[in-house]
A and B are shown apart, each in its own frame.
Chain A
Amino acid sequence: MLKSDVWFATIDEISPDIRAGRLSSVELTQGFLDRIQKYNSRFNAFEHPTPELALEQAARADSDLKANKWKGPLQGIPYAAKDLFDTRLVPTAWGTKFLRDRVPGENATVIDRLEAQGAVLLGKTAMVEFAGCLGYRFANASASGPGRNPWDPSRWTGGSSSGSGAAVSAGLATFALGTETWGSILCPSAFCGLTGIRPTYGLVSRAGGMVGAYTFDKVGPLARSVSDCRTVLAAIAGADPRDPSCATERTKLDRGAGRQWRNLHAALVPLDWRKAGEPEVKAAFDAAVAELAGAGLRMEETPLPDVPAAEVSGLLIGMEALAAFDPFIVDGRVKQLVDDMAPRQLELGQIVTGPDTLKAIRIREAIQREMREFFQRFDVIVTPNFMSVAPPVEMDLNEALPYGDPVGALAAACGLPGLALPAGTGKGGMPASFQLVAAPFDDATLLDLGDMYQSRTKWNRAHPALA
């Protein structure tokens, strides 16, 4: 008999039971599949559940354990993957309707790596079409409809990893893979009350994943704790000959591999809460800062370098996306996307000249140098993910989220790792969240600091009550 809280349990909690034979992966997987059947249409979490594959993988996990083959903490753990990772003989549609018949012949590297660890794929999660790389203004820009937040289905999950956020938040998977070009892991983590890590660019292979923007895309997990994020990240990180942008040097991610948080110097970015900032979210963020300060983290308010990170990231993502999706622009299928401005992105892109793009690349390196100096003075940035809670699904996102994202822009431009941490609630009991951002390849420091925060608070364990 499964415990009722197993749907919201962490890998750390489930794995020992599976390993000891107290919990069978098949039973657990079947339970998740039943919940997907029951709840999926409420949240638009999964685009394509894979029940047969999941039960086959779960049975293998159980039989391997009976044969004393221990593959690690992910063995038998059910997870979900954003529908832009290639999965052998399973449709992978990148959030669009017109690619629903696209069936890859092999797995993305991250899917292979999780399979090698014995993880169980429950299905492919819904996402914003083309991961939002051709732009979108409304939550419904997805073949699956808008991602509906399990905390309040009238509100958005965040995007573009919308289904990954909904699936974990609703207890339909123990963790999920997402991707981020600019914000797409941290945003749904924040709005759905999850812990999510955007690894340093190049730490995790993108081979077999949809390319949205070649020099910006990252792969990372959305989960229930920092510890779970660390476990998943350790399983998927590492050099890959299939992805030449992948870092070849090994990055240590073990607990304690980061720099001692007691010696860290954190930067607090001054924020203007007057433009759509919500007092409840500000109070939640202030409480998180007080918690970190109380633990002994040294923090100082300081402005970010004055560099055009938003312009550079925005322009380069746009140009790279136009190149990546060129075949669909040429053959006209871009007109089948939900966002009615997507077909006009080429027209807008043609305002930008070749020299503009190359200059943006040069400025990007100047920004990297500025941030390298910044991270010689500060070890981490502590800042809210959003100054408001998840907006209603029908709202124009330009109006719902009118404030800038200066830390996100810098992180996108420089490939910085970021960790989203739940931090209480805002309006209507919706999750509030903050982020830690560090220098490239300092992911372990973020995880260690996040671990410390979650050892002192339990916001990451809150979950919605589903009827």
Chain B
Amino acid sequence: MSAHQKEYERQKAGTLSTLKTIRAYPLPPGGDLPVVFRPMRTPKKGR
């Protein structure tokens, strides 16, 4: 295996390990709205 591919495999293993941790982390359904979305007001002329 080339050094490049070896490094790719190392990084891939790191990503898979990260995903294992993220996927196993217990969270309640729904959560506390960590993703905040705000509608953008449109400035209107003549108001």
- Chain A residues proximal to chain B, CB less than 8 Å: 135, 137, 308, 311-312, 314-315, 340-341, 344, 348, 351-352, 356, 358-366, 398
- Establish whether residues B34 and A364, one from each chain, have CB atoms under 8 Å apart when the complex forms: yes
Q: Please give, as numbers and ranges, the residues of chain B lying within 8 Å of A365 by CB-CB distance.
A: 31-32, 34
- Chain B residues proximal to chain A, CB less than 8 Å: 4, 7-8, 10-12, 15-19, 21-23, 25, 27, 31-32, 34-35
- Establish whether residues A308 and B4, one from each chain, have CB atoms under 8 Å apart when the complex forms: no
Name B18's contact: one of A314, A340, A341, A344 (CB within 8 Å): A314
- Establish whether residues A363 and B11, one from each chain, have CB atoms under 8 Å apart when the complex forms: no
Nearest residue (CB) in B for A359 is B22
Name A363's contact: one of B4, B10, B25, B35 (CB within 8 Å): B25
- Rounded to whole angstroms, the CA-CA distance of A362 and B7 in the bound complex is 30
Name A362's contact: one of B11, B21, B23, B34 (CB within 8 Å): B34
- Establish whether residues A352 and B15, one from each chain, have CB atoms under 8 Å apart when the complex forms: yes
- Establish whether residues B19 and A352, one from each chain, have CB atoms under 8 Å apart when the complex forms: yes
- Establish whether residues B15 and A351, one from each chain, have CB atoms under 8 Å apart when the complex forms: yes
Nearest residue (CB) in B for A310 is B18
Q: Please give, as numbers and ranges, the residues of chain A lying within 8 Å of B32 by CB-CB distance.
A: 365
Name A356's contact: one of B4, B8, B23, B27 (CB within 8 Å): B23
Nearest residue (CB) in B for A349 is B15
- Establish whether residues A351 and B22, one from each chain, have CB atoms under 8 Å apart when the complex forms: no
- Establish whether residues B22 and A308, one from each chain, have CB atoms under 8 Å apart when the complex forms: yes
- Establish whether residues B34 and A312, one from each chain, have CB atoms under 8 Å apart when the complex forms: no
The distance from the CB of A257 to the nearest CB of chain B, in whole angstroms, is 29
Q: Please give, as numbers and ranges, the residues of chain B lying within 8 Å of A344 by CB-CB distance.
A: 8, 11
- Establish whether residues B11 and A360, one from each chain, have CB atoms under 8 Å apart when the complex forms: no
- Rounded to whole angstroms, the CA-CA distance of A359 and B16 in the bound complex is 15
Name A366's contact: one of B7, B10, B21, B27 (CB within 8 Å): B27
- Rounded to whole angstroms, the CA-CA distance of A363 and B35 in the bound complex is 11
Contact A311 to B4, CB < 8 A, known contacts A351-B12, A362-B27, A363-B25: no
Q: Please give, as numbers and ranges, the residues of chain A lying within 8 Å of B17 by CB-CB distance.
A: 311
- Establish whether residues A359 and B35, one from each chain, have CB atoms under 8 Å apart when the complex forms: no
- Establish whether residues A351 and B34, one from each chain, have CB atoms under 8 Å apart when the complex forms: no
- Rounded to whole angstroms, the CA-CA distance of A315 and B17 in the bound complex is 11
